[in-house]
Amino acid sequence: MSRLDPDCEMNHSPRVSNRVQQIQKSAIHEMTRLSKQVEDVAFLSWAKPTSDTPEHIKQAAVAAIEKGLVGGYSESSGLLALRREIAAKLKRDNSIDADPAQIIVTVGAIEGLAAALMAVIDPGDEVILPSPTYSTHIRQVVIASGKPVLVPTIEEQGFILDIDRVRQAITPKTKAVMYCSPSNPTGTVFSEEQLCQLADICIEHNLTAITDEAYEYFTYENNYHFSIASLPEMRKRTVSCYTFTKTYAMTGWRVGYLHADEELVPQISKAHIPFAICAPVVSQYAALAALQGPQDCVVRFREHYLSTRNLMCERLDRLSSVFDYHKPGGSYLMFPRILLDQGKDSTTFCKNLLREAKVSTTPGIAFGPTGQSHLRLSFCVSEQEINKAFDRMEAYFG
């Protein structure tokens, strides 16, 4: 092509890959941006703990800085001392027979999930995601040039897995199933029984399970967290991703980890290293202190979320002509259905709620097509914030 080629001269827009062009703007970030323009907003749209990181964790990071331990890279898979603690935690709390060689410390759960997808799927491969699901998972599949296949959950039964539909969605191109339990956005905790059925499907069709267990410690009443990799026949075909973000209120530290079979770990590392080299070393020392230190903060967070969940449900009961909901068994999120006609377009509904009632929520459509007519509410906030939001909604909906 000559330098004077008119096409060459005229096209001044930067080149953007198809992969990235397919990705729509994040509704969560969009709502955050719009919320900043509203004074004294009641904020229920972020899935981010509002508590600060516990003091002993912060102090461990300060000590590591003062000792000059954090200026360089760590091993790309993470500090050995940390991986040893993680292996012990996986055995104790997840019944996964883990070894430090099967662990990579990652930049939050998110980087672990992205690296796992890169290692497991090829362009055009299909990944089954029970829907509605965490929007980032859908984007991660697209960035890995895969095809997200959203399989609706059964809302009437509290957004549980629809095992028959998962089975029906499998094609020769299906390579993985990716889910979060407890779920963002619905708060559903997939039962051990259902996860065993899902495991049978993975085994039968040679699929990898990529799990996001970010909310593992936040389950309520008779719901309990079950790790699919604890099934011996699934241990080799699961990449389980975890994080310090939610458990220890360490959102900004960007540290998490994954567990996979030791044959797969070096392959996942090939994706982890060009994305991250290693997780931030200062955060790895903080994570070590989190695992070695007292665990009462986790109990406290859990108790707080249980009481804010109950409050949110009570307040929703008073708006029963506007919302229908399932009480979430876990996480700190819930996903009410909007009963009003204007709820059919969840984005407009949430924007109006923000502008006219000064309540910030997240439109359900952000979590896949089955999320339409819903909105996501976070109860990882103070009781005061919940009451403020619902007082306003009661006045708004009359």
Ligand X SMILES: Cc1ncc(COP(=O)(O)O)c(C=O)c1O
Of the pair 194, 393, the CB lying nearest ligand X is at 194
Binder among 104, 180, 195, 249 for ligand X (CB under 6 A): 180
User: Based on CB atoms, which residue is closest to ligand X, 96 or 287?
Assistant: 287
78 near ligand X, judged by CB under 6 A: no
Q: Does 47 bind ligand X (CB under 6 A)?
A: yes
In 3D space, the residue among 363, 361, 386 whose CA is nearest the CA of residue 310 turns out to be 386
Instruction: Give the shortest CB-165-to-ligand X separation in angstroms.
Output: 21
Q: Which is nearer to ligand X, 184 or 230 (CB)?
A: 184
Stretch touching ligand X by CB under 6 A, among 18-26, 89-97, 107-115, 268-276: 107-115
Using the rule CB under 6 A, give the single segment among 11-19, 105-113, 195-203, 383-391 that binds ligand X: 105-113
User: In 3D, which of 233, 224, 226, 180 has the Cα closest to residue 202?
Assistant: 233
The minimum distance between CB 123 and ligand X, in angstroms, equals 24
Give 201 or 279: the residue with its C-beta nearer to ligand X: 279
Q: Which of residues 308-347 bind ligand X (CB under 6 A)?
A: none
Q: Which residue has the tokens 């009961």?
A: 317
Segment interacting with ligand X (CB under 6 A) among 57-65, 102-110, 164-172, 381-389: 102-110
Q: Which residues contact 68 (CB under 8 A, 6 or more apart)?
A: none
Output 144 or 393, the one with its CB closest to ligand X.
Answer: 144
Name which position in 126, 155, 162, 212 contacts ligand X (CB under 6 A): 212
In angstroms, give the least distance from the CB of 65 to ligand X: 22
Q: Rule CB under 6 A: is residue 109 a binding residue for ligand X?
A: yes
In this complex, which beta carbon is closest to ligand X, that of residue 357 or of residue 379? Answer: 379
The answer to the question of residue 389 lying near ligand X (CB under 6 A) is: no
Instruction: Tell me how far, at minimum, the Cβ of 172 lies from ligand X, in Å.
Output: 29
276 lies in the site for ligand X, by CB under 6 A: no
Least CB distance to ligand X at residue 185 (A): 8
Q: Minimum Å distance from CB 7 to ligand X?
A: 42
Cβ partners under 8 Å of residue 127, min gap 6: 117, 121, 141, 146, 147, 148, 149, 174, 175, 176, 177, 178, 210
Binding mask 112-141 vs ligand X (x if CB under 6 A, - otherwise)? ----------------------x-------
Judged by CB under 6 A, the residue of 214, 350, 357, 377 near ligand X is: 214
Contact string 254-273 vs ligand X (x = CB under 6 A): --x-----------------
Report the 3 state secondary structure along the chain.
CCCCCHHHHHCCCCCCCHHHHCCCCCHHHHHHHHHHCCCCCEECCCCCCCCCCCHHHHHHHHHHHHCCCCCCCCCCCCCHHHHHHHHHHHHHHHCCCCCHHHEEEECHHHHHHHHHHHHHCCCCCEEEEEECCCHHHHHHHHHCCCEEEEEECEHHHCCECCHHHHHHHCCCCEEEEEEECCCCCCCCCCCHHHHHHHHHHHHHHCCEEEEECCCCCCECCCCCCCCHHHCCCCHHHEEEEEECCCCCCCHHHCCEEEECCCCCHHHHHHHHHHHHCCCCHHHHHHHHHHHHCCCHHHHHHHHHHHHHHHHHHHHHHCCCCCEECCCCCECCEECCEECCHHHHCHHHHHHHHHHHHCEECEEHHHHCHHHCCEEEEECCCCHHHHHHHHHHHHHHHC
Among residues 245, 247, 283, 362, which is the contact residue for ligand X, using CB under 6 A? 245
Q: Which of 45, 102, 181, 184 binds ligand X (CB under 6 A)?
A: 184
Q: Which is nearer to ligand X, 257 or 323 (CB)?
A: 257
Q: Identify the CA nearest to 335 among candidates 188, 201, 233.
A: 188
Residue nearest to ligand X (CB): 108
Task: Record the tokens describing residue 186, joined without a space.
Answer: 């619905």
- Among 110, 149, 166, 366, the residue binding ligand X under the rule CB under 6 A is 110
* Number of chain positions touching ligand X (CB under 6 A): 13
Judged by CB under 6 A, which of 100, 108, 132, 328 binds ligand X?
108
Q: Which residues of the chain form contacts with ligand X (CB under 6 A)?
A: 47, 108-110, 134, 180, 184, 212, 214, 243, 245, 251, 256
